[in-house]
Structure 1
Amino acid sequence: MRFPQNTRKFISIGRTIGILIILLLLISIVANWWANYVWQEEVGFSSVFVTMFLTKIGLGIAGFLLFFISAMVLFFNIRATFIKELPTENRSFIIANRKLFAWLNIGVSFLIGLFGSLLVRGIGWERTLGYLNQEAFGVTDPYFGRDISFFVYTLPMWNFIIGVLLVMLGAILVIKLSFYSIYELIKHSQRAQRHFLSSVLLFGIVVALKYLLAPYERALSNSVNLFQDSVVVGVSFTDKYVNIPFDYIMAGVTLLATVLFVLAILRRKVSFVKLAVPLFVGAFILGNAASLVVQSFIVSPNELAKEEPFLANNIDLTRKAYELDKIKTEDMEINDSLTQEMLERNEDTIKNIRINDTRPLKEVYNQLQTFRPYYDFVDIDIDRYKIDGQYQQVFISTRELTQKNLPDRAQTWVNRNLRYTHGYGAAISNVNAITSEGQPEYIVKDLPPKGSIEITRPQIYFGENDYNSVIVNSKVNEFDFPDNEDSASNRYEADSGIQLNGLNRLLFAWNEKAYRYIISKQVTSESRLLQTRNIYDRVHRIAPFLEIEPDAYPVVRDDGTMVWMMDAFTKSDRYPYSDHNGHSFNYIRNPIKITVDAYTGEVVFYLIDPEEPIAKTYNKMFPDLFTTEVPKDIQEHFRYPVKLFETQSDLYRAYHMTNLELFYNREDYWQFPTEKYYGEDISMEPYYVTMKMDDADQEEFILMTPFTPNKKQNMSAWMGVRNDGEHYGEMFVYTFSKQRNIYGPQQIENRINQNDTISQELNLWSQGGSKVIRGNLLVIPIEDTLMYVEPMYIESNNETALPEVKRIIVSYQDYIVMEPTLDKALERLMGLIGDNVPPNEAEEQPDEEAPTPPQSLTPDGLLNEIQAAFEDYRKANQAGNYAEAGQALQKMEELLEQWRAKRDSKGKESNGD
């Protein structure tokens, strides 16, 4: 076919533009890939990147070839069929434009091949590597007798292959049916019929294979039919006797229906189609109907008896999947045994009771320790250190740079890319000590950081903020920290980062879309690019298959350098018989710890549990990713992940019951207690305490949470996990007597609210432009007894107000005391216990700083006292001394009551009464 000259010119221009666009796309793809490889090589994990890349490329090529060749063969056969079977006039058009149709065939097949490549590569690379490197779990599924690895690795791979084939064969069927419906070739052409039926047969075989795998999927679900779920997760009574047999029946019915459909077209007998469709649909409906009948009329009326062995599998495998079977349980008798000697024996426990909370503390840090608007404390974390030989729990946070808070005039390219490159130092404070003003008592503070923990390399180039890339070792000195006279400068001393010499400078100018990398005279061949500085993005870029705990925390190492500690989880949603409990997974472990150096960005993946099967598989997939040698100063700061502990404790509320009848009826179902926090009743979150275990010589770091019975507020148990040394990860539960009330957190909160002395003082503080903040209520185990501690904050309603710890409430047995410090509260508590003061009288004891009632005065004298009290209130309120303001306000109210009483008395006397 010849086109007009103008048309040929436009076609030529279009072809040139198309070629240029394709070249630019290819250059962009290659440049981005090469930049990623250079970055991975710089951080030391290029082998991980190459393994993933080659696997994706291999699968992409396989997917492309599978779909491309299938499409080429499909369209070639369709064209050949049309040439042979179409009328002469239509056939001659196809023959005359054979080259055009050939190019269309290639073009469309190429696009279909690209789709197949993306489909196979996108969801198949991790399944393929996992399948090829899978490690056994050492646990056998009780119904099929297969190792758990079959469900985690093998079955997903088989399903993946079948899914790809179903997509491809289904598309081929639709395309053939559409084309062969033209001129009714599907009816009249034997060639078209054979071509179409070959795909029907293949599609039917693949669907039958899908049904053959369906019984294994029953072990992963609690659904028994389209309308009902079972009380059992995994294979249930209805699955065993109805659903699984019908899965095999449906595989056979699918093959039979496929054969009937093929015969119907070959022999031109519509009756075979009329038989095939009802056969398949009827078998499907019959299977679900049988399941519905059995579940409704056989299982449900006697559910426990029918599901007993299957429920036992559910409980057993769920406990294994979440390691609940390793929890040590012990009955604990709570005694009224608190003595001064006991407090002295547990001195480290008392010293580490947290009387500050992270939420108000973050406000304090950001107001008192940032010093400049471009610094920010992102989060307050809890850790422990040995300070002057003492094991001490601390709050810690890093002072990170936030470039968007620089003044507008400072928002220049040089400042954002070369000068303002890093945060500086950390603030560390005691969890249990406050100043006289109610502020935290710092262990490390100020710029440069000074304190009991030495920080030798305070610069923070990598952290939790959303950082952009920066260039170090340029001709511009980096801003280090604000000094009294002038800003201190810094030069980057590490070998980290991508050296911007030669081709790298051009490559990363393209990658970062920053042409100034090339033209700036401030950037030299010795300059280094620090890229991907957010620690979560950095780890994800290296190992995208790992899920990271979203709460990294900084650690000051023995040499004074700082690293970020992170936790990585291995998960699966394919652990048979295990309960998802509302999560996207039903198996979880924490075998991997990660550190990211805050200065160099060096990432280290520590495999702390080499026998965990999924991590073991990852280790085979990527042999250069993990190390098993953990430095002592890193191991000392391991924290059991809160997210993992929350998941396990949530499951344990039901799965602590191993008695089938108890579990089925949820007779001993536990709840998380509630507490009053920031004026609201919230579910109590796990928290860290320092305490001494029975088998330990010293106090250790424990993550714990209390439990209460279902719809009750008394405490039934508490769960903890150890964090230190060789006992790391050991979980335990102490259960309490059901015959005696052990106060739960909400009961303590209610008793605080009902205490006349405390509630009156809190109400006074809530007046005069300030508010009371209730901190976390902590349950503190001390040997065989329990104590409850809650801080009280006072905060002005001003936007720049600082929350201040003004009182500490301590509760024990029926005693509740409130004092300015924990030491005073304990001293008063022990005095009441030692003097055998009844709890109801103890509650009436006035706070030692509470205002004393004024003496009787004349009305004029009372007015003078009222005026003086008002002046005291005004001054205290302006100075932010809200406790003193509250006392002055209380004194004013008492004086006013006396003045009214004298006024009323005088009025009665003047009336002759």
Structure 2
Amino acid sequence: MILFFVFAGFFTDWLWYDSVGYTSVFSTTVITQILLFVLGALIMGVIVGGNMVIAYRSRPLFGMGMFGGGPSQGADRYRAALDPHRKLIFIAGMAVLALFTGSSTAGQWKTWLLFVNATPFGKTDPEFGMDVSFFMFTYPFIRVLLNFLFTAVIISIVVSAIVHYLYGGFRLQSPGVHATRAARVHLSVLVGLFVLLKAIAYFVDRFGLVFSDRGKVFGASYTDVNAVLPAKSILAIIALICALLFFAGVFRPGGMLPGVGFGLLVLSAVLVGGVYPALVEQFQVKPNQQSKEHDYIARNITATRDAYGIASTEVTPYSAKTQGTQQELQSEVATIPGVRLLDPTVLPPTYEQLQQIKGYYQFPDQLDVDRYTIDGVSRDTVVAVREIGTPPDRNWINDHLVYTHGFGFVAGQGSKTDAQGKPDFLVKDIPPTKGLGDFEPRIYFGEHSPQYSIVGGGKKMELDFPEQTAGGQGSGQVNTTYTGKGGVPIGNFFTRLLYAAKYSETNLLLSSDINSQSRILYNRAPRQRVEQVAPFLTLDGDPYPAIVGGRIVWIVDGYTMSDSYPYSERRSFGEMTRDTSTERQLTPQQPRDHINYIRNSVKATVDAYDGTVTLYAWDDGDPLLRTWEKAFPGVIQPKSKISTELMAHLRYPEDLFKVQRDLIGNYHVTDANAFYGGQDFWKVPDDPSPRSRVKQAPYYVTMKMPNDTTPRFSLTTTMVPNNRDNLAAFMAVDATGGPNAKIRVLQLPSETTIQGPKQAQNAFDTKAASVLNDLRIGGTTETVNGNLLTLPFGGGLLYVQPVYVQPKDENSARYPTLFRVLVMFGSDVGIGGTLKDALDQVFGAGQQAPTNPNQQPPNQQTGVPTDAMKAYDNVQKAYDDGQAALKNGDFAAYGEAQKRLAQALKDLQSTLGKQQASPAPTPSPTPTPASSAAAAPTATPSPTPTKSGS
């Protein structure tokens, strides 16, 4: 039964690889592991088993009596108990040892494939002058081989000593140990081999100094090069001499030579290997560390910047002005594109409430940002797919034969909402609208697909989408049957039996709904599918969907990584990619392995309908990728195969950017002396949310860098000095570029105090409090801050943050809608219903109304022109209607009132402009919240908003 279940798991894996067309990956991996298992088990068995046989056959014929004393009672008892079963014990012991050894060596299949397929880097390390590939591919294999041999020799020494003791080869008695010549020779040779291996290890360890963490930075330090390196060479020679002394014990009886060898080995290891380097470190390096470590810090800087792909980072001094002339700033406002105001981490409830359609559909916990060309202009869009969720009635048929797939793609313009603050959807509903053209809407392969589904069969059992009845009640449904090529055919009895064993489900054998045309879909998550076909890659934590060629495809970024790049800084991949998104568990936690080399070498796609996995070589100059391509030929397609339509949706991966910004915090400093001081080091700021101690996530946004002529879809982040919150730098990369996209950093002067994200958030919270607090009256509503975007603007930096409002009652079907947009430039804050309104508050409206000398006559009672009084009445009514709707929780009515309020304010401004000799700037569409409704009719609002936005 055990063998059957093992076979079922193995054979169904092969069937899955065959269904996706990657059987070569499966066969290469399995054959390599089997060969290493057999080879490791065989060599270990020969070495250890052979020494046990030698020890048994060299046993004395007459027991311990030959030593002149009585037989050892303890050894006799053990021998009497074990000797009748010695063959069984020997076979069982060798089998267990072979199992553990084979499993261990099979686990090194990646190290072996890298070694035999090594590709030169064309770069040499500065200490040994060897190609980097030696340290990346050859050195790790040598260490694995030495560890294997050490283990084999140590186990051989132990088991041989036990056998010699049991069969009288030696005994412990006072004084000392008494052994036969055969036992002494055997053990001397084994110990000599161990010491000889130690000599080889000392020599090989010299190359491992490039991974030392002894000094100020990672890599060989002054002490390593000038003390440890010669010490390793000396110790290798001493160990070789000691090995010869142990071998000499074969010919010369007595323990003097082995004793001298052992003592010399221990003493030299302590004095030469430990004390001497410590003395050099303490008395030469520490008093003069900056000068002594200068060259080695420079090596670390160069290697780290190259290994993490940040050597071409462009750091530009940026004055970061906080003020500018009104004319300059107004002209700059006209160049700002539609900044993304929809926050993909805030809006999942909104997408779910507005587009879920039925309770058995679901949206992800975090939406994705992509871009699509709309009316000839590339626009940021917030996208998601409508995946299948939990069936309303749980049973095996519903779970696996009826509710098999999701349906539809939802995309909202990132910078645009409707009158109620809801997303302006380009694609929505079931069947989907055609805002982005025609496409196959069915999602059989997604991030939340069921564990397995049985599809096809021609019976149309699968729920396709809910059908609206004539009365609009939505009680019907349209069924379908899968016609794609994905999945494994499950028509014959033997295959069904294997999958019944795999999933411990008898219904797979008994169900009459499964026929010769049926297929089983499993391993359906995009990351999971790519991991299976490319086990040599580490994948980005955020796959995202895109419409490409009339199909929904998942795009997954793949990384080649290593921890063996000489001199490069090692850091935890999981810690570097940890930020607010991973803390919310919206994306899977990345492995915490320490790395010091990374490349975004592969772009992968997974078809959401048929599950087709395609791998493209994105960074085809990566030697590590070329090495894997040799090991798995034909698996990765060349970059030239990427279609133009797919290329338009590829983006700079988020996890790579997180890693690079973490390193750039220190390694933007390229001078070794300045690096040693560390005064100019940066860090990623904490998320500006209250009490947050987690790094702020980077943001995708279309923006224009200084000196650029057009905006670009970019991935951006900010940096702050260590132990401070003011801004130190702004960092961005063109997210649409190729594998060599350049990271650009705007470095702020160290003497300035430009506000960082936390400080900007505090300014928003303070200056917008009077507006936002009105929403919290009565405790029925609450506000949610969106992503705090930072944009280069007018020689300075502009902060933009959307603010959403939602009901406070968690039991209601609540969802956030856009309510206000906050902007800040310098110390000036604007608060508007739209981004333009907020910008106008800070920078002015730009275009002024022309002067009209024809003024309306004033009202005889108030002294205010009649038209102005009428316009103001409209302002007051719209404001009062909005407040009433807000208190009642009617956000639709509130949105309409805000629209009327904005129009009434424009009418009022136009009227006042006709009565004045000079034009006035356009007022904020938000009346001063501090003024009460009762007092409002008696005072005309100021047509000029304050810079604080109050």
What TM-score, normalized to structure 2?
A: 0.81
Select the residue among 209, 213, 221 that pairs with 1:236: 221
**Which residue is 2:698 aligned to?**
686
Matches within 5 A, 1:54-69: 54-69=31-46
Alpha-carbon offset, residue 509 of structure 1? 3.1
Partner secondary structure for residue 715 of structure 1: coil
CA contact (8 A) 1:83 1:95 kept: no
Alpha-carbon offset, residue 678 of structure 1? 6.5
Write the letter of the residue equivalent to 1:469.
Y
Select the residue among 513, 535, 540 that pairs with 1:522: 513
**Which residue is 1:361 aligned to?**
347
1:622 aligns with 2:613: no
CA distance in 1, matches of 2:293, 2:447: 49
CA distance in 1, matches of 2:932, 2:324: 42
CA distance in 1, matches of 2:883, 2:217: 68
**Which residue is 1:805 aligned to?**
818
Partner secondary structure for residue 482 of structure 1: strand
CA distance in 2, matches of 1:871, 1:666: 54
Write the letter of the residue equivalent to 2:240.
L
Figure out how many residues of one structure are paired with residues of the other and give that number: 829
CA distance in 2, matches of 1:290, 1:750: 55
Select the residue among 461, 473, 479 that pairs with 1:477: 461
Matches within 5 A, 1:721-760: 721-725=733-737, 729-738=741-750, 740-755=752-767, 758-760=768-770
Structure 1 residues 879 and 555: alpha-carbon distance in aligned structure 2, compared to 1, 3 A threshold: same
**Which residue is 2:578 aligned to?**
none
Write the letter of the residue equivalent to 2:354.
L
Select the residue among 584, 592, 606 that pairs with 2:602: 592
Structure 1 residues 879 and 469: alpha-carbon distance in aligned structure 2, compared to 1, 3 A threshold: same
Matches within 5 A, 1:366-381: 366-378=352-364, 379-381=366-368
Alpha-carbon offset, residue 363 of structure 1? 1.6
Partner secondary structure for residue 577 of structure 1: coil
Structure 1 residues 647 and 588: alpha-carbon distance in aligned structure 2, compared to 1, 3 A threshold: same
CA contact (8 A) 1:48 1:624 kept: no
1:509 aligns with 2:500: yes
CA contact (8 A) 1:636 1:725 kept: no
1:395 aligns with 2:378: no
CA distance in 2, matches of 1:813, 1:173: 74
Partner secondary structure for residue 450 of structure 1: coil
CA distance in 1, matches of 2:817, 2:414: 14
Alpha-carbon offset, residue 44 of structure 1? 0.7
CA distance in 2, matches of 1:498, 1:32: 14
CA contact (8 A) 2:410 2:428 kept: yes
CA distance in 2, matches of 1:199, 1:680: 59
Alpha-carbon offset, residue 342 of structure 1? 7.2
Alpha-carbon offset, residue 205 of structure 1? 1.3
Greater shift in the superposed pair: 391-400 or 272-281:
272-281
**Which residue is 1:202 aligned to?**
193
CA contact (8 A) 1:873 1:889 kept: no
1:777 aligns with 2:788: yes
1:109 aligns with 2:94: yes
**Which residue is 1:8 aligned to?**
none
Select the residue among 149, 153, 163 that pairs with 2:147: 163
**Which residue is 1:35 aligned to?**
12
Write the letter of the residue equivalent to 1:447.
I
Select the residue among 227, 248, 257 that pairs with 2:233: 248
Q: For residues 795-853 of structure 1, what are the alpha-carbon distances to aligned partners after superposition, in whole Å with 9 as ceiling and x for unaligned?
A: 32211322222111112233211011112222333327889xxxxxxxxxxxxxxxxxx
CA distance in 2, matches of 1:313, 1:798: 58
Structure 1 residues 151 and 85: alpha-carbon distance in aligned structure 2, compared to 1, 3 A threshold: farther
Alpha-carbon offset, residue 507 of structure 1? 3.2
Q: Give the percent of matched residue pairs that are identical in Structure 1 and Structure 2.
A: 29
Partner secondary structure for residue 436 of structure 1: coil
CA distance in 2, matches of 1:313, 1:457: 53
Alpha-carbon offset, residue 676 of structure 1? 2.9
Greater shift in the superposed pair: 822-831 or 321-330:
822-831
Partner secondary structure for residue 370 of structure 2: strand
CA contact (8 A) 1:264 1:273 kept: yes
**Which residue is 1:814 aligned to?**
827
CA contact (8 A) 1:220 1:234 kept: yes
CA contact (8 A) 2:701 2:715 kept: yes
CA distance in 1, matches of 2:325, 2:532: 53
Structure 1 residues 450 and 97: alpha-carbon distance in aligned structure 2, compared to 1, 3 A threshold: closer
Write the letter of the residue equivalent to 1:587.
Y
**Which residue is 2:424 aligned to?**
441
**Which residue is 1:829 aligned to?**
842
**Which residue is 1:321 aligned to?**
307
Write the letter of the residue equivalent to 1:479.
L
Unaligned runs of 5+ in 2: 66-70, 171-177, 470-475, 574-593, 849-875, 899-925, 937-950
**Which residue is 2:671 aligned to?**
659
Q: For residues 598-625 of structure 1, what are the alpha-carbon distances to aligned partners after superposition, in whole Å with 9 as ceiling and x for unaligned?
A: 1100000110111101101011111121
Q: For residues 464-514 of structure 1, what are the alpha-carbon distances to aligned partners after superposition, in whole Å with 9 as ceiling and x for unaligned?
A: 126311111133521011222311112212122211233433333333333
**Which residue is 1:612 aligned to?**
622
Q: For residues 259-293 of structure 1, what are the alpha-carbon distances to aligned partners after superposition, in whole Å with 9 as ceiling and x for unaligned?
A: 44555686454444553443223222223222222
Structure 1 residues 539 and 482: alpha-carbon distance in aligned structure 2, compared to 1, 3 A threshold: same
Select the residue among 134, 137, 142 that pairs with 2:126: 142
CA distance in 2, matches of 1:453, 1:870: 38
Write the letter of the residue equivalent to 2:380.
Q
CA contact (8 A) 1:346 1:692 kept: no
CA distance in 2, matches of 1:262, 1:80: 21
CA distance in 2, matches of 1:761, 1:305: 58
CA distance in 1, matches of 2:36, 2:145: 12
Q: For residues 92-132 of structure 1, what are the alpha-carbon distances to aligned partners after superposition, in whole Å with 9 as ceiling and x for unaligned?
A: 9989998853344333223322222112112x211111111
CA contact (8 A) 1:689 1:780 kept: no
Partner secondary structure for residue 797 of structure 2: strand
Alpha-carbon offset, residue 539 of structure 1? 1.5
Structure 1 residues 105 and 727: alpha-carbon distance in aligned structure 2, compared to 1, 3 A threshold: closer
CA distance in 2, matches of 1:869, 1:48: 68
Alpha-carbon offset, residue 667 of structure 1? 2.2
Structure 1 residues 373 and 343: alpha-carbon distance in aligned structure 2, compared to 1, 3 A threshold: farther
Which protein has the bigger helix share?
1
Partner secondary structure for residue 293 of structure 2: helix
Alpha-carbon offset, residue 872 of structure 1? 6.8
Select the residue among 290, 300, 316 that pairs with 2:276: 290
Select the residue among 482, 489, 511 that pairs with 1:499: 489
**Which residue is 1:465 aligned to?**
448
What TM-score, normalized to structure 1?
A: 0.84
CA contact (8 A) 1:869 1:888 kept: no
CA contact (8 A) 1:794 1:806 kept: yes
1:553 aligns with 2:544: yes
Write the letter of the residue equivalent to 2:295.
P
Structure 1 residues 338 and 59: alpha-carbon distance in aligned structure 2, compared to 1, 3 A threshold: farther
CA contact (8 A) 1:362 1:377 kept: yes
Q: For residues 701-733 of structure 1, what are the alpha-carbon distances to aligned partners after superposition, in whole Å with 9 as ceiling and x for unaligned?
A: 111112233344443322211122558622222
CA distance in 2, matches of 1:263, 1:572: 44
Write the letter of the residue equivalent to 2:195.
G
Structure 1 residues 373 and 266: alpha-carbon distance in aligned structure 2, compared to 1, 3 A threshold: farther
